[in-house]
A and B are shown apart, each in its own frame.
Chain A
Amino acid sequence: MSAANEQTQVYQFPEDEPLILGNPTFKDVTNRVLGVLEAKAPRGWWLSLFAAASLAAVLFGMIGWLFWEGIGVWGVNVPVGWGWAIVNFVFWVGIGHAGTLISAILFLLRQKWRTSINRFAEAMTLFAVICALVFPGIHVGRVWAVYWMFPLPNQMAMWPNFRSPLLWDVFAVSTYFTCSLLFWYVGLVPDLATMRDRATSTIRKKIFGLLSLGWRGGNRQWKHYEVAYLLLAGISTPLVLSVHSVVSTDFATSVIPGWHTTIFPPYFVAGAIFSGFAMVMTLAIITRKVYGLEDYITDNHMEKMVKIMMLTGMMVGLAYGTEFFIAWYSGNPYEAFALHNRAFGPYAWAYWIMVSCNVILPQLFWIKKLRRNIPVLFVGSLLVNVGMWFERFVIVVTSLHRDYLPANWDYYKPTIFDIGTFVGSFGLFLTLFLLFIRFLPMIAISEVKNVLPAADPHNYEGHHGSEEKHASGDLGMEGAKS
């Protein structure tokens, strides 16, 4: 049965639509996913890596110049003392959240469709957090003082301010990175062992042998593995909420109109998941196209992701509405001014880009046809990330540029160095991502096998006529759950 036929077939239950098309055997899955890694890197990969690495070089060039000259090279000044650096930080941390939601929360909610996308979504989380961490590290332009971010005992008895949300960010994001890395790595272990078993060169065997921590795929190992995976999912779940909540306190604990509002923590979390899913979708569409993985990351996956985007997009919309309503309801003239200034002031263009991309655009996806229309989804996912970047820009800049003293008011503009740093951070992100898809399995082999019809113990009882392929005995069980 061809993939196209299978997609047009109507299933009785939406949840019964196959997650992997073409009915592959376990062995097919292994060959397919690892085949990408074992073949020579295609030219396109080299070209992309070159482009991405060049962009990353731009980032490092910009940072070098920043360290040399100081933050005067950026557009920040009184009153907008926090510019693109914090916008980019929040943007990148937010991107990461979808990976954790997919790997942890969807696991706890027994959403089996996550298996095709969770591996590279988790990798995306790690790379996004790395990109995010660049900005707090460089934002004062004094890299030699960066260790002051940590509460290290020192002979000067200098400590960071424990009441500062910026310090909590250090703890929140580093915890997040550590847990995400562990979770990702634990999930990788069985696949690394498969790679070791298939390795043809000694060096490959040694490296993957070391990385797979002695995995043999025994029953007891699987039992421990599953417990560990469940526990890590449980530990990671609160992180989906806590990290961006802490990030939101960077703003919300202040007394600046437009920043200090109690809805910020959940509102930031919803926005983070929204933007993260958009990024997962962008990456998934490109990767599956390039590697021809449309039967593993199917249109069904896309539809499910875009539904989560609609949901979180509307949550964000509800938060925008609530902020406006309470700004009026509070009777606080400063709050009302800040919100009015957002929508109708000098940065109105940014505000309406944000609203169009985040609230209006996702409404298109009420139409089922569009939820499975890949070009529309691709453009939509890019625009959502544009909108979510602008959301952070709007929050940071519009609340600052007109503060309590009208004599201070100013129109903040980024410099070429702001823009270069941000664009360069995409270079870093894409470089890491390209290296990842080249050297590690981008699809979780062992987990995907688990959602195949063949993994169902009753699969061979004879009432599935179309699945004779499995009954032929070619099960390809290496590294798979049995």
Chain B
Amino acid sequence: MNLNQETYKLSGANNVGMIALVIGVVGLVLCGVGYAVDHARFFHAWLTAFLFWTTIGIGGLFMVLLHHVSNSVWSVVVRRIGETMMATLPYMFIFAIPVLLGIHDLYHWSHADAVAHDELLQWKQPFLNTPFFVIRTVIFFAAWALLGWWLYGLSIKQDKEGHSFALLKKFKTISAPGLILYAVTVCLAGFDWIMSIYPHWYSTIFGIYFFAGSIMSNMAFMAILVSMLNKRGVLKKEINSDRYHDIGKLVFAYMILWGYMAFSQYFLIWYANIPEETIFYMNRWGGSWSVASMILVFGHFTIPFVMLMGRTTKRSASTLGFFAVWLLVMHYVDLYWLVMPNIQPDSAMPSWMDFAAMMAIGGLVMWLFWRRFTANAIVPLRDPRLQKSIDLVSP
């Protein structure tokens, strides 16, 4: 693939999009088979994959909002990556439709007969009912589409209009209140999509736990994409090891933030030892679930904590890329660990359907991502801070 040094558009890179599309279509076909074989299992696999790709987009939206409100300089050169990922969020609604269709397999509270025999579910019915759940999901995506497309559109406008300081101001004016909308919708999405799978269980930290995993996964995604582009000789001058260092520091920080949220939740529930709360962890300790739990403790926190602490790991494309892939895998394990005990109460049992769903959504999302990414400049080339960002030396 080639980068046009004037327009900063990628050319000769269509094959990436085609490969993604083929993977996506093959995945979709397999998903169809999966649905026919075992629809309950299929919907769970789909929900997990849907969450995985959506959270990367959610993280991208955060990265862009934060970038604008904090007048960030370092991230200008990689902003388009976060923006493109954020702009895929509205399409994720299409992938949410199977989740809504599979609501009876996924969400126990959606069964009228279950509610009829369960006082707690009756209590929660004003919130946990199918129409309102669908409406909320639509609202989440509408909010993210509003912010995402608006900011993305302005960013492309910036490419055309040149060094506009008025635009910088506009970005900020949208992003600051945007963060409030973002915080509320993301927390509620975490409650809705994951926490309500176990309608009796509740945890106030869950929304921001979901958020922490999202921003980490997006930063890891960015690290992978940047290192892959660099390996192919793209943006080699613009993105040097200082930017890797910055991205690496954020991957590290967000990973610790996830660990902090996860530990706070676990620890307080363990200590108080109230059965209605501990059931969540009990369900993740039977059979091979204990292994999955331990993988999270070590793989999602301890090992990357030690490995990413050092300077050299973060400054090299290959080691940072390796741990970024590692953490994305762990992010999937985290989501799997959250969703799957619903259908596999005794033991974790990965299935080919999990791969099929990941292929289907991942392939199509990456195809959409790549189309957009290659259609415009891959850096915001007329952002007034771009040169500052490229020149920035991080000590």
Q: A14-B71, A15-B71, A331-B120 are in contact. Are A264 and B187 (CB under 8 A)?
A: no
CA distance A245 to B259 in the complex (A): 13
Instruction: Decide if A261 touches B187 in the complex (CB within 8 Å).
Output: no
Rounded to whole Å, the gap between the CB of B177 and the closest CB of chain A is 8
Chain B min CB distance to A466 (Å): 21
Bound complex: CA A289 to CA B180 (Å): 35
Which of B176, B184, B202, B208 is A266 in contact with, Cβ under 8 Å? B208
> Of A249, A252, A314, A331, which one neighbours B124 at CB under 8 angstroms?
A331
| CB proximity to A under 8 Å, residues B260-292 | 260-261, 264-265, 267-269, 271-272, 274, 276
Q: How far is the CA of A331 from the CA of B199 in the complex (A)?
A: 11
- 8 Å CB interface, B138-168 against A: 165, 168
Contact of A329 among B124, B180, B274, B276 (CB under 8 A): B124
Q: How far is the CB of B227 from chain A (nearest CB, A)?
A: 23
Q: Which of A13, A238, A241, A252 contacts B268 (CB 8 A)?
A: A252
Judge whether A314 and B180 touch: CB under 8 Å.
Answer: yes
Max chain A CB contacts within 10 Å: which of B184, B205, B265, B384?
A: B205
Nearest-neighbor residue (CB-CB) of A321 within chain B = B184
Closest Cβ–Cβ distance, residue A315 to chain B (whole Å): 8
Decide if A322 touches B261 in the complex (CB within 8 Å). Answer: no
Q: How far is the CA of A323 from the CA of B272 in the complex (A)?
A: 17
Task: Closest B residue to A307 by CB, please name it.
Answer: B69
Tell whether, in the assembled complex, residue A262 and residue B274 are in contact, meaning their CB atoms are under 8 Å apart. Answer: no
Residues of A within 8 A of B208 (CB): 263, 266
In Å, the complex CA distance between A444 and B385 comes to 29
Q: Which of A266, A322, A330 contacts B260 (CB 8 A)?
A: A266
The docked-state distance in angstroms from the alpha carbon of A12 to that of B163 is 11
Nearest A residue to B168 by beta-carbon distance? Answer: A13
Shortest A453–chain B CB gap in Å is 16
Q: When the two chains form their complex, are residues A266 and B272 in contact, meaning their CB atoms are under 8 A apart?
A: no
Interface membership of chain B positions 370-395, coded 1 if the CB is closer than 8 angstroms to chain A and 0 otherwise: 00000000000000110000000010
Q: How many residues of A contact B (CB 8 A)?
A: 32
Q: Does B344 count as interface, using CB distance less than 8 angstroms?
A: no
Q: Which residues of A contact B271 (CB under 8 A)?
A: 249, 253
Does any Cβ of A come within 8 Å of B207's Cβ?
Answer: yes
B187: chain A residues at CB < 8 Å are 318, 322
Do B385 and A254 touch across chains, with their CB atoms under 8 A apart? no
Does B203 make an interface contact (CB < 8 A)? Answer: yes
The 0/1 profile, CB within 8 Å of A marked 1, for residues 105-129 of chain B is: 0000000000000011001100100
Nearest CB in chain A to that of B204: its residue: A263
Interface size range on B against A: 35 or more
Alpha-carbon distance A330/B202, docked complex (angstroms)? 6
Please indicate the chain B residues that have their CB under 8 angstroms from the CB of A266 in the complex.
Answer: 205, 208, 260-261, 264
Q: In the complex, A239→B51 CA distance in Å?
A: 32
A399 → chain B, closest Cβ, in Å? 14
Instruction: Enumerate chain B residues within 8 angstroms of A39, measured Cβ to Cβ.
Output: none
Chain B residues with CB below 8 A from A245, complex form: 260, 264
B184 touches A262 (CB 8 A): no
A260, B272: Cβ atoms closer than 8 Å: yes
Tell me whether B94 is interfacial, beta carbon within 8 Å: no
Chain A residue at smallest Cβ distance from B392: A110
* Residue-wise interface mask of B (68-99) relative to A, using a CB-CB cutoff of 8 A (1 in contact, 0 not): 00010100000000000000000000000000
A13-B123 CB under 8 A given contacts A245-B264, A252-B268, A262-B264 = no
Least distance between B84 CB and chain A CB atoms (Å): 25
List of B residues within 8 angstroms of A435 by Cβ: none
Question: A266-B260, A329-B127 are contacts. A260–B268 as well, Cβ < 8 Å?
Answer: yes
Q: Which of B180, B256, B268 contacts A249 (CB 8 A)?
A: B268
Cα-based distance from A323 to B208 in the complex (angstroms): 13
B260:A241 contact, CB within 8 angstroms = yes
CA distance A329 to B190 in the complex (A): 14
Are B260 and A318 within 8 A (Cβ)? no
> Is the CB–CB distance between B264 and A13 below 8 Å?
no
A263 to B260, CA, bound (A): 11
- Residue on B nearest A329 in the bound complex, by CB: B202
Contact pattern, A 245-273, Cβ under 8 Å of B = 1, otherwise 0: 10001001111000011111110000000
A326 proximal to B (CB < 8 A): yes
The listed residue (A262, A318, A331) touching B203 by CB distance below 8 A is A262
Asked whether, in the complex, the Cβ of B204 is within 8 Å of the Cβ of A323, the reply is yes
Contacts A255-B272, A265-B264 known; A15 to B120 CB distance under 8 Å?
A: no
A to B CB contacts below 8 Å, 8 in the list: A12-B384, A249-B271, A261-B268, A265-B260, A266-B205, A266-B261, A318-B187, A326-B204
Nearest first, the 7 A-B pairs at minimum CB distance are A263-B204, A262-B205, A253-B271, A265-B264, A331-B123, A263-B205, A330-B202
Q: Can you name 6 extra interface pairs (CB under 8 A) apart from A108-B249, A329-B124?
A: A110-B394, A245-B264, A249-B271, A252-B272, A262-B268, A314-B183
